[in-house]
Chain A
Amino acid sequence: MRFMILFALVAMSTVSLAWTNDATGEMLQARYQYAACNVDYAEEWLSMREGCGHRNNATVFDSSEYVEDLREDLDDIKEAADEEDQFEFGVSMFQYGGNSLRLLGAVVTDAFDHKNMHFFSCVRDDEKPLMDELDECKHRAMEMERTASKKYVGNEIEYAKDQIDELDSLGADTTGMDEVVSEADVLVDDIDPAFDTDEAGQVRELHLRHSRLVLLFRMQKMLATIDYARPLIEESTNTNKEEILEEMDALEEDIEETLSECEYSAVVEDKGEYGMQNFECWNDSIYLFQDFNSIKLMILEGIFS
């Protein structure tokens, strides 16, 4: 019973202390705008395509269901952005991405169904102004994200420095954490040049690098904390001392291994490969984070039992 109360208290303190980035809402709104550009364009493009079909005696598939699905996804994205619900935003975005691909597949399939050259020529001519509108719309959304990105990463760097200061004041070795923050400073410098290109691919590279740096900072923080805490635990009278030290040793080994597998590179040669590596590194690290946080409970349990 005592252990359960302790666990509940620790869980509550963890939730209440969770840090949130003040610029998250701005970032989500910018990305919603970007998605809205795509959906608006898709709807108008499909309507234009139907018009070309009518004028050139070509049958065109009924796309209303696809558009409806995309509109629903967009509503969900908007709602999540307004509520700054990052998880729901990610889920809605994933759904929207899937429905976009489904629409694209349907369009490609329909292109082989009784079409003529006049029809294709009509679509090519009439889509040009729509594409210009799309580019302008995306540009505005990316400008929103440019501003939000600087705030978002700036807040993270500030938060990271606070964590470094806390450990540094205790005498912990924060060299690894400092190195990650230095790389983050370079990332901030690269925001403007990437957005200046107006290419989504360049911005995506920033996202990939950012994701990796956040991961590596947390890894380095765990290492610094373990390194600092080990001698203190060894000298303590904690009843879980041996168990804690074993857990710290095992965790340290796993972190070192993950660090070597997830080495940072400021150059993204292959976005697909980099993104896949990020995915795998995060999947592995989630368990390490949980193991690390569980040490808090082990220490407290060893004090009070």
Chain B
Amino acid sequence: MNNKLMLLLVLGVSLVLFGCAKPAGESNLPPTGEIGAADEVPPATDTPETEEPIETPEVEETPEDEPEAPVAEPETPEIEEPEEVPEETEPVTEVDEEALADLFQVDTDKPLEDEGYDVETPSAQE
């Protein structure tokens, strides 16, 4: 949340600063959408001074909505990660040891051998 506020603050301050520094009639804003359309209005130097402050708040509202999503997302995983670490280092429980004991089981019987294949049969070679 701090990052979001900071970003908004920086944007707001920069808008105010640049808005004041430039002469009236020159746009400080990026040439996009509604903002670009608003740029066309200031050249009328004859227009009353009160009209200008009405248009600037409109410009400030647009950047406020856009950066919300990317700023909020990275904050959540940072909180969850440290909670998982202590679970891994816990000692083996008795239930785990029983499961571990079950792994110590190997067949002891021999597989089928080759009995019968080399038995000699009588023949005239006697």
Kindly state whether residue A267 has any CB partner on chain B within 8 Å.
no
Among listed A89-97, A185-193, A256-264, interface-contacting one: A89-97
Stretch at the interface among B8-16, B23-31, B112-120: B112-120
- Given A108-B126, A111-B126, the answer on whether A31 and B120 have CB atoms closer than 8 Å is no
Asked if A225 lies at the interface with its beta carbon under 8 angstroms from chain B, I say yes
Residue A8, interface by CB 8 Å: no
B51 within 8 A of A: no
User: Which residues 24-38 in A have Cβ within 8 Å of B in the complex?
Assistant: 24, 27-28, 31, 34-35, 38
User: What residues of chain A lie closer than 8 Å to B126, measured between beta carbons?
Assistant: 107-108, 111
- Bound Cα distance from A127 to B126, whole angstroms: 12
**A96-B101 CB under 8 A given contacts A107-B126, A111-B126:** no
Query: A236's closest neighbor in chain B, by CB?
Result: B92
Which of A89, A96, A233, A296 lies in contact with B119, CB distance below 8 A? A96
Q: Which residue of chain A lies nearest to B92 when distances are taken between CB atoms in the complex?
A: A236
A101, B120: Cβ atoms under 8 Å?
Answer: yes
For residue A295, CB closer than 8 A to chain B, the reply is yes
- Contact A289:B117 (CB < 8 A) given known A103-B122, A296-B101, A303-B98: no
Pairwise interchain contact B121-A38, C-beta atoms closer than 8 A: yes
Size category of the binding interface on chain A? 35 or more
Does chain A have a CB within 8 A of B70? no
Q: Which of B94, B110, B112 contacts A282 (CB under 8 A)?
A: B110
Interface residue count on the B side (C-beta < 8 Å): 32
Shortest Cβ distance from residue A93 to the other chain B in the assembled complex, whole angstroms: 4
Q: Which residues of B contact A232 (CB under 8 A)?
A: 92, 96-97, 100
B interface residue numbers (CB < 8 A to A): 91-92, 94, 96-98, 100-124, 126
* Interface of A toward B, CB cutoff 8 Å: 14, 17-19, 24, 27-28, 31, 34-35, 38, 41-42, 45-46, 86, 89-90, 93-94, 96-97, 100-101, 103-104, 107-108, 111, 120, 123-124, 127, 131, 134, 152, 156, 166-167, 200, 203-204, 207-208, 210-211, 214, 218, 221-222, 225, 228-229, 232-233, 235-238, 275, 282, 286, 289-290, 292-293, 295-297, 299-300, 302-303
- Residue pairs across A and B with Cβ atoms less than 8 A apart, 27 shown, are A28-B112, A34-B116, A86-B109, A86-B112, A97-B119, A104-B120, A104-B122, A123-B124, A204-B118, A207-B113, A211-B114, A218-B106, A228-B103, A229-B103, A229-B104, A235-B91, A236-B91, A236-B92, A282-B110, A289-B106, A295-B101, A296-B101, A296-B102, A296-B105, A299-B104, A300-B101, A303-B97
